[in-house]
């Protein structure tokens, strides 16, 4: 008794062109806030100037990094930002620290018609964190 199994044809799904996301640059106010947060990180801008534009957790993280003094002598590299939705911006800024490049990642959300930094994380190697 022999049974033959015919191969199944793969299912192909075609998505309409409208499903492709359009790249929208962030507004100038967002770019200014990103710049201000990085300046505060470097100690070139007082923390009280950026505090109203930051969520408590993000501000606490920023102030702990400023207090360490490790970011006073850094060089700023490439900055990128994208808007996954009309009320959110995700940004990254490259910073050279002790000869190594680290990345500052920011999340900004539109809250009550103003932009607010809700997340701030600095991605750096463990060797730099211990130094």
Lowest mean pLDDT among 22-31, 41-50, 118-127: 22-31
Q: State what percent of residues in the chain have pLDDT above 90.
A: 60
What range does the domain containing 34 cover? 24-130
Measured between alpha carbons, how far is 43 from 81 in angstroms, rounded to an integer? Answer: 23
Q: Is 76 helix (H, G, I), strand (E, B) or coil?
A: strand
pLDDT at 98 over 90: no
Task: Note whether residue 40 is domain-resident.
Answer: yes
Task: Note whether residue 6 is domain-resident.
Answer: no
Name the more confident of 21 and 39.
39
Q: 């990128």: which residue's tokens?
A: 80
Task: Note whether residue 3 is domain-resident.
Answer: no
Task: Note whether residue 35 is domain-resident.
Answer: yes
Categorize the per-residue pLDDT at 7 as very low, low, confident or very high, splitting at 50, 70 and 90. Answer: low
Task: Note whether residue 86 is domain-resident.
Answer: yes
Measured between alpha carbons, how far is 111 from 88 in angstroms, rounded to an integer? Answer: 10
DSSP symbol at 111: E
pLDDT at 23: 64
Q: How many domains does the chain have?
A: 1
The CATH number covering residue 68 comes to 3.10.450.50
Number of H helices, E strands in the chain: 4, 4
Task: Note whether residue 14 is domain-resident.
Answer: no
Global pTM reads 0.77
């Amino acid at each position: 008794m022999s049974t033959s199994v015919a191969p199944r044809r793969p299912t192909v799904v075609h998505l309409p062109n409208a499903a492709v996301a359009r790249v929208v640059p962030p507004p100038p106010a967002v770019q200014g806030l990103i710049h201000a947060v990085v300046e505060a990180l470097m100690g070139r801008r007082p923390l009280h100037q950026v505090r109203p534009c930051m969520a408590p957790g993000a501000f606490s993280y920023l102030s702990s990094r400023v207090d360490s003094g490790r970011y006073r002598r850094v060089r700023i590299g490439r900055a990128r930002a994208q808007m996954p939705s009309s009320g959110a911006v995700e940004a990254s800024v490259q910073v050279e620290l002790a000869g190594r490049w680290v990345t500052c990642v920011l999340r900004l959300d539109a809250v009550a018609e103003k932009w607010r930094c809700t997340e701030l994380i600095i991605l750096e190697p463990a060797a730099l964190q211990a130094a």
